[in-house]
Chains A and B, each alone.
Chain A
Amino acid sequence: GDSVTQMEGPVTLSEEAFLTINCTYTATGYPSLFWYVQYPGEGLQLLLKATKADDKGSNKGFEATYRKETTSFHLEKGSVQVSDSAVYFCALSDEAGGTSYGKLTFGQGTILTVHP
């Protein structure tokens, strides 16, 4: 079945440091890939997405590129802020339609803490 593996956390950085959170996946077909962010006590917010190979998703200074050859979707940000402290989830969606139903498969999440 489909699976998503995220780098183990937690990750602790100083403000303005460079961030990479690794994500690799296993899936059949052509999944869509997502990064979601969760702040304490809240639901998940969509951070960015990519729906086909070589697409780059970007939002709020975060970027991730859909690499089919390495089955990866690593999250990067050039300069993190204290307000970026949260839990980050990588996820993939099987293709909706036919016998599929757009199910999301999540990684276990990576806790990011940014210090001033």
Chain B
Amino acid sequence: DGGITQSPKYLFRKEGQNVTLSCEQNLNHDAMYWYRQDPGQGLRLIYYSQIVNDFQKGDIAEGYSVSREKKESFPLTVTSAQKNPTAFYLCASRFQETQYFGPGTRLLVL
């Protein structure tokens, strides 16, 4: 069953803590993306990767980091430098012109 999985569904972060959100796909797509969604707003691009071992900053990369060591995986780390991390985070992969999304991770601050 092909698709994109994100884990965990909910994540809690304490002050000063780094947390990592998982994104895995078995669609054999080269390009992957991370978006942030805030209430009542559209999605904003955090980072993207067009190929393994390569990634670029999107529109709101400050306070975030990523890695792309495997084609299937594109984890996002929310660092302590991100002062307002509470949001819904969505991962996507792209085939031709279309992006396909995972179910999302909701990050909350304790």
Contacts and interface: CB of A to CB of B under 8 A. Distances in A.
Contacts, number: 63
A93 B50 contact: no
B48 A101 contact: yes
A45 to B, nearest CB: 7
Given A89-B43, A109-B41, A101 B97 contact: no
A107 B6 CA distance: 24
B98 interface: yes
Q: How large is the interface on A (under 10, 10 to 19, 20 to 34, 35 or more residues)?
A: 20 to 34
A102 interface: yes
Interface string B66-110: 000000000000000000000000101010111111111010000
Contact of A106 (B31, B43, B48, B94): B43
B40 interface: yes
A77 B42 CA distance: 22
Interface in A28-69: 32, 34, 36, 41-46, 49, 51
Contacts of A114: none
Interface of B: 4, 6, 31, 33, 35, 40-43, 45, 48, 50, 56, 58, 90, 92, 94, 96-104, 106
Give the top 5 A-B pairs by smallest Cβ distance, nearest first: A106-B42, A43-B101, A32-B97, A44-B101, A43-B103
